[in-house]
A and B are shown apart, each in its own frame.
Chain A
Amino acid sequence: MNSFRIIGNKKAQFNIDANMFSKSVIMKVLYWLNNDFVVQTTSHESQLLVELESNNDTDWNIMKKTISTMLNDFQMREVIEKETHDIRNILYVKAFSNIDNFTEYDTEE
């Protein structure tokens, strides 16, 4: 995240470098922000411009740190998910694979 600009009490803008963070990581961060803020995004080549607007007064210095932590955390979660995706599937398949009395029911609405 760079160029964090505070516009009055209620608005802030910043850029995210899409080469550094995947779309999924960025979307997850914005997902958690969109309860407290109206979130608007615009793309300029590899830069994503994010604008946050709130009805309430916001401590933007705290917010800047929070967003930066969220970006890093979701990026780490993405690494963990990618690396453990297959083994997690295997573990769940093994956990439930020995249910031998499973019946397929023919159901209708």
Chain B
Amino acid sequence: MIQRNNSYRLLPFKFTHIGNKELIVNEVGDYLFMPNGTVQRVISGSVNRNTEEYRDLLSKFIICDSYNDILQDVIATRIRTKKSFLDGFTSLHIFVLTLRCNQKCVYCQATSQNKDCVNKDMKIEDLNKAISLMLKSPNPHITMEFQGGESSLVPSLVEHAILETERQNKSVGKEIKYVICTNIIHFSEELLNLCEKYNVFVSTSLDGPESIHDSNRGVSGSYKHFVDSLLRIRERLGQDRISPLMTTSVLSLNYPIEIVDSYRQLSFHYIFLRPLNPYGRAKENEDWNLYFDKFLEFYKKSLDYILLLNKRGEFFVEGFTAMVMKKILTPFPIGFVDLQSPAGIINSVVVYNYDGYVYCSDESRMMAESGDFTFRLGKVSDKYEDIFYGKKAQALSRVWATEYIAGCSDCAFQQYCGADPVRNYSTQGDWYGHRPSSLFCKFHKAVFEYLFELIDRRGNEVLPIIRRWIYD
């Protein structure tokens, strides 16, 4: 250990260079921009007491006067808060009720099958067992999400799932939030009644103006059906009970402003700019390096436009930025499974597939469709402990935290980023992954750098807007 003549101690921190400054980030994600050369001076003991620099470093837990108990307790509590998403264990339980779909999305990640295909719906016995597993989760707050394929093609399964959950939950007493993921192309009265009765939240997808939406769906007339159903759902359930996700196809990349405007035209005040994932049908057709370079430009243009709208007085949120900024600006974790460490798989999300098996994420069950069962955790009839704490879950836990995997363990963005062994395996062939060639790493690093540049250069202008997004 270096003996410093003015006797301060170092606390764990990471750093990187942004522009001509050093960005220093402590163990719980608090950051400081300092002039280049600061880290060298900090570790060599040259920072003088009674300076503003010393006080800044002290208040951000980069240095301390001593490792006393009170300080340790404060930082330990902060760490615990940052990782509090682990407290209840798995909260999001995805049920793939069918693989059948009525659209042909160009980027389909779910390996969906024709709507008339047979043997692609979940069996009632499997569904009942999966519900029992879900209710064994220690988490008192559960989100049960119906996915596909297209879940509106199996309204009777959705209804059974809800009724059976309500029945089994009588003796368990968990708080259950139901979400149906659907393209709302044919959203029946039967489903509307169910959603109304059981407070089901409708999660849908809208990719932009009519031409882009229809082109991405691979079926003409989709947009018109979407708008019709949207109005019906809003009228019955209320304005805020339906929310869309946007997926950025190759075509979408050229229309950042038009896509944001299409959301505004339909009275949405929120968009989540989501890139394609290299799974399912999307995997085959992309030069992923080029795609992510272009997506980054798309993201920056859209975000700039959205910030301008907010400056003009319109409240409109970009969801991805809001999530990342919440990690940067607040002591709290976020519920976005891609950016969690330990990873979102198993800890936050699990998938009960139509085939009666349990997978550790949506991507894992998609891989299973192409014959790769690496991330199959077990059958719905297996013991809860064997699925959730079994050998496979234990093996995954050795590679699922940014705090200890190569590359991430030194990275200044470690506290904001996530580890994903499934993505590593799917794109790089092994669970551990190789950060220098990882597109996940390249993309997220670029986003973090961009957002920190924004904070540094335009903080006075953008931070009040982003704080409203986070706290409203």
Residue ranges of A at the interface with B (Cβ–Cβ < 8 Å): 28, 31-36, 69, 72-74, 76-77, 79-84, 87-88, 90-92, 94-96, 105-109
| Interfacial chain B residues near A88, Cβ < 8 Å | 12, 27
| Interfacial chain A residues near B181, Cβ < 8 Å | none
Whether B407 pairs with A31 at a CB distance below 8 angstroms is yes
Whether A90 pairs with B390 at a CB distance below 8 angstroms is no
The answer for the CA separation of A32 and B77 in the assembled complex, in Å, is 34
Which residue on chain A has the smallest CB distance to residue B16? A73
| Interfacial chain A residues near B1, Cβ < 8 Å | 82-83
In this complex, which of B39, B76, B434 has the most chain A Cβ atoms within 10 angstroms of its Cβ? B76
Choose the segment among B67-75, B96-104, B213-221 that binds chain A (4+ C-beta atoms closer than 8 Å). Answer: B67-75
The yes or no answer to B80 lying at the interface (CB within 8 A) is yes
Whether A107 pairs with B386 at a CB distance below 8 angstroms is yes
The yes or no answer to B410 lying at the interface (CB within 8 A) is yes
Which residue on chain A has the smallest CB distance to residue B441? A35
The yes or no answer to B13 lying at the interface (CB within 8 A) is yes
The answer for the CA separation of A31 and B437 in the assembled complex, in Å, is 10
Whether A95 pairs with B80 at a CB distance below 8 angstroms is yes
Whether A31 pairs with B12 at a CB distance below 8 angstroms is no
| Interfacial chain B residues near A31, Cβ < 8 Å | 406-407, 436
Number of A-B contacts defined by CB within 8 Å: 84
What is the distance, in angstroms, from B404's C-beta to the closest C-beta of chain A? 11
| Interfacial chain A residues near B40, Cβ < 8 Å | 72, 76
What is the distance, in angstroms, from B31's C-beta to the closest C-beta of chain A? 16
One of A34, A35, A77, A94 near B76 (C-beta < 8 A) = A94
Whether A83 pairs with B76 at a CB distance below 8 angstroms is no
Residue ranges of B at the interface with A (Cβ–Cβ < 8 Å): 1-2, 9-15, 17, 27, 39-40, 43, 67, 72-73, 75-77, 79-80, 83, 385-386, 389-392, 394, 406-407, 410, 434-437
Report if A90-B72 is in contact (Cβ < 8 Å); known contacts: A83-B1, A95-B77.
yes
| Interfacial chain B residues near A84, Cβ < 8 Å | 10-13
Which residue on chain A has the smallest CB distance to residue B434? A35
The answer for the CA separation of A84 and B8 in the assembled complex, in Å, is 12
Whether B390 pairs with A107 at a CB distance below 8 angstroms is yes
The answer for the CA separation of A84 and B410 in the assembled complex, in Å, is 13
| Interfacial chain A residues near B83, Cβ < 8 Å | 95-96
